[in-house]
């Protein structure tokens, strides 16, 4: 069992004990296998060989358990902040490709898909606490990491843009396309779509094509004319 203790971003990570970690792992497996409907306290207790009472003692109630699962899973997906020091053009492109590949891997992962399905399925116009949590613990970190990378590339003169968030979102769209929602809806990817390395490379090519500031290619004008 993976009993590593991880404390990062000292933002109140409760640092679960070994037993609790095992329970969370069991909960994730249950969720992956059967979706939200399969994640019942009784089922979890059976799967994890613990008592329902312990579950409620550790996580208060079902919402607490779900929140703990989100935090737990988010903590496992570590995001190395590559791209701090100065780098060459090719290294920059390589960092982008690595980011793209990692992103595709994460989003297509079964556990990530299950957690997103859970958060989305329980979300509504009013109540979207789990959704906020997923966005905060997952999406936001990705954006920060990519934002820093992009910013570094800009400061080095490899790319040019006006709005960093917009540039990031464009990169994101080029990488992910419509894959995420399709996977969330249960579709299986075609053979060509599963080649994440190729997709990452192509996406970065296109991104550089749009935002690259090398040749006489026009400087990504903003089409203010609308």
List residues near a second copy by CB under 8 A.
32-38, 110, 114, 116-128, 131-132, 134-135, 139, 166, 169-170, 172-182, 184-187, 192, 197-198, 201-202, 205-206, 209-210, 220, 222-223, 226
Q: Hey, what are 131's tokens?
A: 């959704």
Residue with Cβ nearer DNA (62 or 154): 62
Using CB under 7 A as the criterion, what x/- string covers residues 51-70 for binding DNA?
Answer: xxxx-xx---xxx-------
Closer residue to DNA, CB minimum distance, 78 or 125: 125
User: Cβ of residue 30: shortest distance to DNA, in angstroms?
Assistant: 11
> Minimum distance from CB of 36 to a second copy (Å)?
7
Region of 53 please: left (phi>0), alpha (psi -120 to 50) or beta.
alpha
* Radius of gyration of the chain from its Cα atoms, rounded to whole angstroms: 20
Long-range CB contacts (within 8 A, 24+) of 30-33: 31/69, 31/114, 31/115, 31/118, 32/110, 32/111, 32/114
151 binds, among a second copy, DNA, none (CB under 5 to 8 A by kind): none
Residue ranges in 34-53 that form contacts with DNA under rule CB under 7 A: 37, 39-43, 45, 49-53
Strand-pairing partners, residue 212, are 159
Minimum Å gap between C-beta 18 and a second copy is: 28
Structure tokens at 71: 């935090």
Angle among Cα 145, 147, 159 to the nearest 5 degrees reads 130
């Amino acid at each position: 069992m993976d009993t590593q203790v991880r404390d990062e971003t000292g933002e109140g990570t409760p640092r679960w004990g070994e037993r609790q970690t095992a329970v969370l792992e069991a909960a994730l497996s249950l969720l992956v296998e059967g979706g939200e409907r399969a994640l019942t306290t009784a089922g979890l207790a059976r799967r994890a060989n613990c008592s329902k009472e312990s579950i409620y003692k550790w996580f208060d109630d079902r919402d607490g358990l779900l929140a703990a699962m989100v935090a737990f899973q988010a903590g496992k997906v570590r995001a190395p902040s590559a791209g701090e020091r100065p780098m060459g053009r090719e290294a920059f492109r390589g960092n982008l490709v690595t980011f793209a590949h990692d992103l595709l891997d994460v989003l297509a992962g079964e556990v990530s898909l299950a957690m997103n399905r859970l958060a989305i399925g329980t979300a509504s116009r009013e109540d979207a606490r789990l959704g906020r949590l997923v966005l905060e613990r997952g999406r936001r970190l990705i954006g920060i990491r990519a934002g820093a990378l992009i910013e570094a590339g800009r400061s080095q003169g490899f790319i040019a843009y006006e709005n960093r968030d917009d540039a990031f979102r464009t990169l994101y769209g080029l990488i992910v396309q419509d894959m995420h929602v399709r996977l969330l809806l249960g579709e299986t990817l075609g053979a060509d779509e599963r080649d994440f390395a190729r997709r990452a490379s192509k996406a970065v090519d296109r991104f550089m094509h749009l935002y690259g500031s090398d040749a006489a290619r026009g400087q990504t004008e903003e089409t203010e004319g609308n």
